[in-house]
Amino acid sequence: MQSLFSALSGIFGGESSESASASDTSSAPGTPRSPRTSRDIALEGLLDIDGKETLDLGGEELDDGSAIQLEKLLASENSLRSLMLGGCKTTERGIKCISYGISSKTCQLHTLNLAGCGITDEGVKVLAKSLLGNTTITFLDLSYNQVGNLGAAAIAHSTNESSALQTLNLWDNKVGDIGVRELAMLLFENSSLTSLDLGRNSVANAGAAELGAALRVNSTMRVLTMKDNYIDKEGALMLAGMLKYNSTLEQLNIGANIVGDEGAIPLMEGCLVNSGLQHVNISGNKVGDKSMALVADVVANNQNLISLDLHSNKIGDASVGKIAAALATNHKLSNLDLASNLLNDPGGVDLAEALMKNSHVTFLNLSWNNLGDVAVGALAKMLETNTTLTELNLRGNQMTDEGARLLSVALRFNTTLATLNLWGNRLADDGQRHLAGLLRTNVTLTTLNLSWQKSGQSQAEYVVWPPDLAPKAYLGNIDPAAVPHSRKFKDPGVDGPRAMLRR
């Protein structure tokens, strides 16, 4: 099949008349300009960087006049190293001005954020031309745009041997297997790129196979994200084969695809022999109990694994029991996500007992399961002696006041847990007050979310301040700056509404 590069020959073969005309219009002396508006004058103030290394114009409306000013700044000698334009509303002319500024030999940008700027393939072609031969930009964010196969090919072609680009973010675009093939060709030769995000595009098995083949020989890629695409068991098999040869990839995220157990099994077999992977995400892939024995083997035997994300699958209690048993011999895993699975009290009890012996897990997410007071009681007993867990998420389970009472007792002795999320359980007022009261003695918990309980007073988040301060309690959230206390309680955002401070 003919390479897409042939379709780009007009772009990279020399400056087009349209581009030259736009450049002449933006820089030729005496060229008629649009009248300067108050917004232009305000932007000129923002562009006066005065020795700063970062310029953040995120969300601004970058009209043609403003873009010309930005082009002049980029082409001048200055201290600017990071340009943040995420969410800017701009035109094709604006992208051209930015591109011309970047192509200047005096431009020393390291970071360029163009997320959510409405950039299409045509805009990326112009941008890619300015990157051809660039030796300073290491981070390029093109997420949330409309980049397709042609745009991906243009970026691949611009990232040549002299490129310094290390991170390329194409999350939420329109790149398909053909565009991925061009990026994969780049990985056979490029020695600078270390992170590639192709999440939420249109990548299927053919694209996964191309990347798998390239990463068998590539020795610089560290992070690969292919979340929320169309990869099934066949694509997973191609990626699994790569894991048996590649020893430098550290993060693999293929969450929200459709690999199922038949794809998860070869992936876990690859993880067993891979000596580099530290973070694995196979969440949201309809993975069930059939592949969990191999997952447990990975947890027990791969001592490089730091985080394992299995949320939104179909994992039951028996399989969680196998993972819990494997934690006894794992000395590295710190993050375990089992949210939105099929866990009941037996699975929760197994995990709690495992964490009484494990001294490495710091983050445990069990939200949106079916854990009741029996499992919460076991977790509470674990918290009495555990000295490593810092965040526990039990959101959307079935805990009642009895579980809250057990947790409040345990947390009087715990000295490490900083975040406890109990949003959307079944606590009445008594259970919430039990937990609020523990803050009189616990000095390490900084985030306690009790919002949106299914019984008792609705949408409550109680906090009682320690006895050495004037007693205060609040329902909902509060500005920490308004309270004379060192602990800052995070805003749970959509988890619950704001309410007034009550004395």
% of the chain exceeding 90 in pLDDT: 63
Report, in angstroms and rounded to the nearest whole number, the Rg of the chain calculated over CA atoms.
27
pLDDT of residue 66: 84
pLDDT of residue 277: 94
Neighbours of 257 (CB within 10 A): 26
Which residues 6+ apart lie within 8 Å of 330 measured at CB?
299, 300, 303, 305, 358, 360
Q: Of 12-16, 70-74, 107-111, 471-475, where does mean pLDDT reach its minimum? A: 471-475
Residue 25 has pLDDT above 70, yes or no: no
Distance CA 153, CA 202 (A): 15
**111-502: what fold?**
3.80.10
Report the pLDDT averaged over residues 157-168: 86
Which residues 6+ apart lie within 8 Å of 243 measured at CB?
249, 252, 267, 270, 271, 273, 274, 277
Place of tokens 């300073």: 136
Interhelix angle 121-131/149-158, rounded to 10 degrees, is: 0
pLDDT of residue 34: 52
Q: 184 vs 64, which has greater pLDDT? A: 184
pLDDT of residue 15: 41
Q: Of 7-16, 66-75, 244-253, 293-302, where does mean pLDDT reach its minimum? A: 7-16
Distance CA 195, CA 200 (A): 16
pLDDT of residue 295: 96
pLDDT of residue 35: 52
CA distances from 54 to 79, 114, 459, 499 (A): 9, 14, 40, 37
Q: The tokens of 305 are what?
A: 């694994």
Report the pLDDT averaged over residues 330-359: 96
Residue 500 has pLDDT above 50, yes or no: no
Distance CA 368, CA 412 (A): 26
pLDDT of residue 438: 79
Distance CA 489, CA 487 (A): 6
Which residues 6+ apart lie within 8 Å of 481 measured at CB?
none
Report the pLDDT averaged over residues 30-55: 60
Report the pLDDT averaged over residues 61-89: 89
Distance CA 124, CA 118 (A): 11
The mean pLDDT of the chain is 83
Residue 175 has pLDDT above 70, yes or no: yes
pLDDT of residue 7: 37
pLDDT digits (tens, 9 = 90+) for 230-245: 999 999 999 999 999 9
Q: Are strands 111-113 and 139-141 parallel, antiparallel or unpaired?
A: parallel
In 3-state terms, what secondary structure has residue 71?
A: helix
Distance CA 217, CA 201 (A): 24
Residue 483 has pLDDT above 80, yes or no: no
100: left (phi over 0), alpha (psi -120 to 50) or beta: alpha
pLDDT digits (tens, 9 = 90+) for 228-286: 999 999 999 999 999 999 999 999 999 999 999 999 999 999 999 998 899 999 999 99
Which segments within 407-458 are labelled E, that is strand? Answer: 419-421, 447-449
Q: 503 vs 184, which has greater pLDDT? A: 184
In 3-state terms, what secondary structure has residue 355?
A: helix
Planar angle of CA 77, 78, 83, nearest 5 degrees: 120
CA distances from 424 to 43, 108, 114 (A): 45, 50, 37
Report the pLDDT averaged over residues 85-113: 92
Report the pLDDT averaged over residues 316-337: 95
- Residue 308's nearest CA partner among 299, 316, 317, 300 is 299
pLDDT digits (tens, 9 = 90+) for 72-82: 888 888 889 99
Distance CA 270, CA 302 (A): 11
Q: Of 188-197, 279-288, 365-374, 449-458, where does mean pLDDT reach its minimum? A: 449-458
- DSSP symbol at 59: T
Residue 473 has pLDDT above 50, yes or no: no
Handedness of CA 360, 328, 323, 235 (dihedral sign): positive
**pLDDT band at 99; cut points 50, 70, 90:** very high
Report the pLDDT averaged over residues 188-212: 96
Distance CA 152, CA 175 (A): 7
Contact 472, 500 (CB under 8 A): no
Burial of 290 by CB count in 10 Å (0-12 exposed, 13-18 middle, 19+ buried)?
Answer: middle
Amino acid at the residue 382: M
Distance CA 196, CA 191 (A): 13
Residue 122 has pLDDT above 60, yes or no: yes
pLDDT of residue 78: 86
pLDDT of residue 200: 98
**462-464 sheet: strands from edge to edge:** 462-464, 473-475, 501-502
Residue 17 has pLDDT above 50, yes or no: no
What pTM does this model have?
0.83
DSSP assignments along 268-301, one per residue: HHHHHH-SS--EEE-TTS---GGGHHHHHHHHHH
pLDDT of residue 16: 36
pLDDT of residue 435: 87
